[in-house]
């Protein structure tokens, strides 16, 4: 996995609450057996009309937001299905950070597995950053994972919380499976014990 | 020993490793796999030269993207993308030596229906699947998590899931349900109360007399939608109803093994003085048959209510409600029971079990549909066979329903079973998101009995008027 370095990028505002995984990537695009290429259909039903033409007022279609790397979004972002296609599509488009007051659980976890950082901030801070994001490409935010801060375009600094293990993996670009396999002895021991205690399983 | 919740007990019995910061490796007893969220995981294993650690704990079944029309065993009958995904699952199941129910097998069906039916899901287990409605299995008192594809790969390779413990939430439904009120109405009403993010960070245990009174089918319906309330899992403590259901299933323990298992299962309940981080209590008598009016499962109201106005809400929900009403083509103040329906869909892992079909058939007996189309998609081949045997299939056919083969079908509309633009559907599934059942399709979530009532009258209808 790629390491998460400090990110300086354009932030786009998406104030809608409950943006679900069907909006992020409609299921007709889940038919692939690959991970890549989904960015082209990110937010497909909001971004394109039925003929495949861009809907001009959708935020990511506006000139100043084409290079968006950070989303500032409404409450409960990523609710709905467990499909990892949602973070894959965001990442493939180039979005590496989503900031919201809350995230759906599975989506939140899925982000970290794909080198992305979901950031939970209190409503007041999201409000400030949402305003900032409305300034388009003039407003570059800085996300520093090491320091756990987001800096708005006018230099205001906000800190955020992140699980230390998840942070470590993201910073180092560590692969979960490799890490877990180092603990194979514990798993073996557990399995042997469980076979005694619950042989019917 | 300090008092524990049911969740605490199952959790403690499955921690294979705990790091200093509380991150655990949770050992997984059953891993269910389907064709849509697994190909990339198997691809990852192959690329890294890894094996499936516990193939005999891994069960695969294609369901999300399979056709539900006759003759589907013939690959020609499938769309190109279904064919590719199903062929990938066929091959992965074979190459990695895992249990498999192909579409040609009568036991094939929706993964969350097949698991319990075959006795793979048992009390006290940890169960995962690359699908958010894995919560369904919590009905057995099993800790069941929906996971993403990276986690699918992680479980395949290590038989563990990296987890931190969630908080405990108790949802108690007291007393008795009124006639015409079902498990679906319970679970939707709970989400109406808590919102779709109300359970975030929690594992919910459902309890109380109204839950105890439910069959296993009803309990699965309740737990199925725990995820729609944002929870990481839903649980119901196992009891005689559970043990009765499990006994004799193909993969359930037998004889002395069953007795040993039973002794442990009987310890799986929350201790009286266990600590709860959040408690919600709803009176069973207060629950009415409900429908959703919007595009989030929390947009739920009793069938007797009126379509709300965006001004009834606060904060970000005002905009969301405006957008939802616009998408759904509804006006504030309209009676929910005046909304005309084009299509009825009965099926899904929420309501695709035999009891659901019976409840719908009860209402449909001797009647004809007044909607443009209506379909029943049984949750598994075995549910379908049983319904044929009980004569329920004929009730559906005579009423004018299409009688399909098992799969997810119009619940997520990946296969050709889709709504067209602005088509309005009363559905027994679990999600009413924009586009969920087809581009610009409009979904109202209801119970099977309410779906049947809508099919007969052509509009959303209070099923109690037909009983
Ligand atoms: S029936 Fe619907 S909710 Fe259930 S597993 Fe299939 S797609 Fe998911």
Q: Which one of B142, B149, B201 makes the best mutation probe of the A interface by having the most chain A beta carbons within 10 Å?
A: B149
Q: What is the pLDDT of residue A31?
A: 86
Averaged pLDDT, B328-335: 98
Q: What is the pLDDT of residue B38?
A: 96
**Contact of B69 with B405, CB cutoff 8 Å:** yes
Cβ pair A76:B323 closer than 8 A: no
Averaged pLDDT, B78-85: 88
CA distance from start to end of chain A: 35
Ligand 1 pocket mutation pick from B36, B38, B112, B415 by most atoms within 8 angstroms of CB: B112
Q: What is the pLDDT of residue A120?
A: 98
Per the model's pLDDT, the better-predicted residue between B372 and B82 turns out to be: B372
How far does the CA of residue B40 sit from the closest CA of chain A (Å)? 6
A115 shares contact with chain B (CB less than 8 Å): no
Give the three-state DSSP class for A129. Answer: helix
A171 shares contact with chain B (CB less than 8 Å): no
Residues of A in contact with B112 (CB under 8 A): none
Q: What is the pLDDT of residue B74?
A: 82
Q: Is the pLDDT assigned to residue A190 strictly greater than 90?
A: yes
Ordered by where they begin, the domains of chain A are 6-197 (3.20.19.10)
Main-chain phi, psi angles of A170, to 5 degrees = -70, -45
Shortest CA distance to A47 belongs to which of A74, A75, A68? A68
How far does the CA of residue B237 sit from the closest CA of chain A (Å)? 18
Q: What is the pLDDT of residue A137?
A: 79
Nearest CB to A45: which of B27, B36, B439? B439
HSE, side-chain direction, 13 A CA sphere, residue A119: 25
* Confidence band of B186 (pLDDT split at 50, 70, 90): very high
B348 Cβ inside 6 Å of ligand 1:
yes
How many helices, marked H, and strands, marked E, lie in chain B? 16, 19
Tens digit of pLDDT for each residue in A38-91?
999 999 999 999 899 999 999 999 999 999 999 999 999 999 888 899 999 999
Q: What is the pLDDT of residue A156?
A: 96
Q: What is the pLDDT of residue B197?
A: 86
Residue of B nearest to A184 (CA): B158
Averaged pLDDT, B165-178: 98
Averaged pLDDT, B383-396: 98
Cβ pair B40:A114 closer than 8 A: no
Helix intervals (H) in B138-182: 149-158
Q: What is the pLDDT of residue B414?
A: 87
Across A15-29, A146-160, B24-38, B125-139, least confident range: A15-29
How far does the CA of residue A94 sit from the closest CA of chain B (Å)? 19
Residue B59 in tokens: 């069960």
Averaged pLDDT, A13-17: 94
Integer Cα distance of B410 and B437 in angstroms:
6
Q: What is the pLDDT of residue B308?
A: 98
* Confidence band of B73 (pLDDT split at 50, 70, 90): confident
Across A70-79, B326-335, B377-386, B408-417, least confident range: B408-417
Give residue for tokens 């109300």: B198
Shortest CA distance to B17 belongs to which of A184, A155, A142? A184
Integer Cα distance of B430 and B432 in angstroms:
7
Cβ pair B36:A81 closer than 8 A: no
B430 Cβ inside 6 Å of ligand 1:
yes
Residues of B in contact with A191 (CB under 8 A): 16, 27, 159
Integer Cα distance of B158 and B54 in angstroms:
8
Tens digit of pLDDT for each residue in A128-186?
999 999 998 777 999 999 999 999 998 999 999 999 999 999 999 888 998 999 999 99
Averaged pLDDT, B77-97: 92
Q: What is the pLDDT of residue B183?
A: 98
């Amino acid at each position: 996995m790629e390491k998460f370095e400090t990110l300086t990028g354009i932030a786009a505002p998406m104030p809608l609450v409950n943006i679900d995984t069907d909006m992020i990537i409609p299921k007709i695009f889940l038919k692939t057996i690959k991970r890549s290429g989904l960015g082209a259909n990110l937010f497909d039903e909001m971004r394109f009309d039925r003929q495949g033409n861009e809907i001009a007022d959708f935020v990511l279609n506006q000139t100043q937001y084409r290079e968006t790397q950070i989303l500032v979004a409404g409450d409960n972002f990523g609710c709905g299905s467990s499909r990892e296609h949602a973070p894959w599509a965001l990442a493939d488009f180039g979005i590496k950070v989503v900031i919201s007051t809350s995230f759906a659980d599975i989506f939140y976890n899925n982000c970290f597995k794909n080198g992305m950082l979901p950031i939970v901030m209190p409503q007041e801070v999201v409000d400030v950053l949402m305003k900032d994001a409305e300034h388009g490409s003039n407003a570059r935010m800085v996300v520093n994972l090491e320091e756990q801060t987001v800096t708005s375009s006018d230099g205001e600094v906000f800190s955020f919380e992140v699980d230390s293990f998840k942070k470590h993996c993201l910073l180092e670009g560590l692969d979960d499976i490799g890490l877990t396999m180092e603990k194979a002895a514990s798993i073996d021991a557990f399995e042997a014990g469980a076979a005694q205690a619950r042989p019917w399983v | 020993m300090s008092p524990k919740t049911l969740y605490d007990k199952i959790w403690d019995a499955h921690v294979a490793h705990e790091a200093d910061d509380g991150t655990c490796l949770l050992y997984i007893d059953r891993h269910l796999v389907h064709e849509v969220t697994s190909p990339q995981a198997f691809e990852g294993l192959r690329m890294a030269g890894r094996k499936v650690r516990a193939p005999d704990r891994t069960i695969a079944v294609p369901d999300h993207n399979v056709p539900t029309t006759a003759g589907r065993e013939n690959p020609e009958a499938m769309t190109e993308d279904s064919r590719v995904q199903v062929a990938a699952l066929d091959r992965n199941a074979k190459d990695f030596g895992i249990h498999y129910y192909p579409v040609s097998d009568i036991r094939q069906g929706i993964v969350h229906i097949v698991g319990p039916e075959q006795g793979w899901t048992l009390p006290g287990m940890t169960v995962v699947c690359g699908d958010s409605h894995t919560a369904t299995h919590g009905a057995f008192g099993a800790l069941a998590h929906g996971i993403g594809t990276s986690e699918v790969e992680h479980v395949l390779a290590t038989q563990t899931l990296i987890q931190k413990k969630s908080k405990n939430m108790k949802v108690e439904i007291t007393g008795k349900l009124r006639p015409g009120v079902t498990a679906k109405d319970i679970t939707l009403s709970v989400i109406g109360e808590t919102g779709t993010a109300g359970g975030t960070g929690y594992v919910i245990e459902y309890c109380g007399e109204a839950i105890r009174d439910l069959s296993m089918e009803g309990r699965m319906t309740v737990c199925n939608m725990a995820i729609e309330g944002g929870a990481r899992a839903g649980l119901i403590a196992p009891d005689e109803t559970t043990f009765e259901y499990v006994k004799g299933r193909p993969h359930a323990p037998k004889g002395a093994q069953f007795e040993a298992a039973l002794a442990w299962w009987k310890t799986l309940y929350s201790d009286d003085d266990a600590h709860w981080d959040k408690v919600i209590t709803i009176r069973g008598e207060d629950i009415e048959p409900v429908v959703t009016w919007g595009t989030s499962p929390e947009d739920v109201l009793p069938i007797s209510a009126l379509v709300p106005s965006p001004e009834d809400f606060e904060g970000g929900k005002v905009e969301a409600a405006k957008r939802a009403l616009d998408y759904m083509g509804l006006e504030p103040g309209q009676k929910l029971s005046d909304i005309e329906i084009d299509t009825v869909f009965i099926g899904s892992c929420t309501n695709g079990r035999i009891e659901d079909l019976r409840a719908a058939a009860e209402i449909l007996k001797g009647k004809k549909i007044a909607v443009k189309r209506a379909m029943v998609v049984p949750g598994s081949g075995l549910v379908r066979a049983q319904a044929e045997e009980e004569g329920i299939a004929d009730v559906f056919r005579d009423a004018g329903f299409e009688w399909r083969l098992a799969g997810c079908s119009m619940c997520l509309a990946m296969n050709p079973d889709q709504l067209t633009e602005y088509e309005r559907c009363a559905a027994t599934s679990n999600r009413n998101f924009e586009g969920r059942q087809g581009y610009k399709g409009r979904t109202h979530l209801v119970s099977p009995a309410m779906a049947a009532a809508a099919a007969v009258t052509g509009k959303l209808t209070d099923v109690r008027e037909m009983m």
